[in-house]
Amino acid sequence: MTGFRNSFLYPLLSWLIWPGVFCAGLTGAYFAFQSSAPLLWFNVVYFSVVAIIALFERLMPYEKTWLARDGETFNDIAHTLFNKGGVQIAAAIGATFPIAVASFAQPVLVSPVHFWPDHWPMVFQAILGLIIAEFGLYFAHRLAHEHLSLWRFHALHHSVQRLWVVNTGRFHFMDSLIKIGLSQIPLYLLGAPLPVFLWIGAVTAFVGLLTHCNIDVRTGPLDWILSTPRLHRWHHSRVLAEGNTNYGENLVLWDQVFGTYFNPPRPSSTDIGITGRVASSFWGQVVQPFSKQGYRQIIGRKPKELDQPVVPAAPAEGLPPMMMPSVRTRAD
Ligand SMILES: [Zn+2]
Ligand SMILES: [Zn+2]
């Protein structure tokens, strides 16, 4: 493997993987959408992309320790594989849900107004839709980090100790519902057509898989436009001042507009996670935010501390002063 790292292929692949996988995914989505069974074929493309990313995670990991399973006995391996299977299905549902909603719900919804520029080429309509949807995604995500009442749901996504392709869909359903609502309702109200929703769903699916991948990719100027693994690793940092940044799901436009863009010139964080604790079982994680005790466990604070104001930590180097952390603290 050291030989591969030193070969000319390694840097070449580092530069090509992100745009290559993204374009391959969108090309596959194009043919899926032209077919008579778009959801089925989109899922075939989606899982093919998952497989390709998983392969490159083994060949070119960004952080080798993130490849390690958390047990060595047979039972531990079986348990890990079972969880991987469950999370992968959740990832697929999470990514394809907006497409399913768009396919079935939009024909019965009548938009009250029609501002949408139908006459534009689809690629520009999709970009416009993405910018509008991303505005809702940005605020849903930022609010989830800045308010404990919403962080209780979003913490599940941040509770992982490593990032890899299978983490992509690890969201509490309440977290996802808020995001889908804030990002898609404005598009419905503006009268965006079904293909715009389909393309936003496709872009979100592939960018999501790629932002969580543990591949040593180089994204250079893409970091200024799209949410990349480098930016998203900062977002998962345990250090609050680094983590409460880069909220964009696909685009980083709104992070740049509102001063939460964070990309200092050093390797992005591998110290990820939260101070609080989430339940170990799937159903435990689903119900945990709804109980008082579960909420306290997720927040990682004792009952008395919940009544006290949060003391902000010093902003990280390169972070705008307005970005004061409010929820997570570094685990000691
Ligand atoms: Zn987050
Ligand atoms: Zn994430």
Per-residue DSSP letters for 196-260?
Answer: HHHHHHHHHHHHHHHHT--B----GGGGGTB--HHHHHHHTBSSHHHHS----SSB-HHHHHTT-
How far is 74 from 122, CA to CA, in rounded Å? Answer: 51
Neighbours of 143 (CB within 10 A): 16
Q: Which residues of 177-194 are buried (b: 16+ CB within 10 A; e: fewer)?
A: ebbbebbbeebbebbbbe
Residue 222 CA to ligand 1 centre (angstroms):
20
Tens digit of pLDDT at every position of the chain (332 positions): 667 788 889 999 999 999 999 999 999 999 999 999 888 899 899 889 989 999 999 999 999 998 876 333 333 333 333 444 443 444 445 545 556 665 565 555 555 567 899 999 999 999 999 999 999 999 999 999 999 999 998 998 898 888 888 777 788 888 888 888 899 889 988 889 989 999 999 999 899 989 999 999 999 999 999 999 999 999 999 998 999 999 999 999 999 999 999 999 999 989 988 888 888 877 888 889 999 999 999 988 654 444 444 443 444 444 443 333 344 433 32
Residue 141 CA to ligand 1 centre (angstroms):
6
Instruction: State whether residue 318 is helix, strand or coil.
Output: coil
Does residue 201 contact residue 38 with C-beta atoms inside 8 Å?
A: no
* Residue at 153: amino acid letter: F
How far is 314 from 237, CA to CA, in rounded Å? Answer: 15
Token representation of residue 129 = 């839709």
Max CA-CA distance within the chain?
Answer: 61
Residue 119 CA to ligand 2 centre (angstroms):
36
Residue 145 CA to ligand 1 centre (angstroms):
6
Neighbours of 96 (CB within 10 A): 19
Cβ-in-10-Å burial (0-12, 13-18, 19+) of 78 comes to: exposed
Residue 18 CA to ligand 2 centre (angstroms):
17
Helix (H) or strand (E) holding 60: none
Residue 227 CA to ligand 1 centre (angstroms):
12
Residue 134 CA to ligand 2 centre (angstroms):
15
Token representation of residue 294 = 């579960």
Give the residue carrying structure tokens 């390797």. Answer: 267
Instruction: Give how far the C-alpha of residue 305 lies from the chain's centroid of Cα atoms, to the nearest Å.
Output: 30
Residue 144 CA to ligand 1 centre (angstroms):
7
How far is 196 from 213, CA to CA, in rounded Å? Answer: 26
Does residue 106 contact residue 188 with C-beta atoms inside 8 Å?
A: yes
The phi, psi pair for 5, rounded to 5°, reads: -60, -35
Q: At what angle do helices 74-105 and 194-211 cross, to 10 degrees?
A: 160
Residue 163 CA to ligand 2 centre (angstroms):
8
What is the predicted pLDDT for the residue at 86? 44
Q: What is the CA radius of gyration of the chain?
A: 20
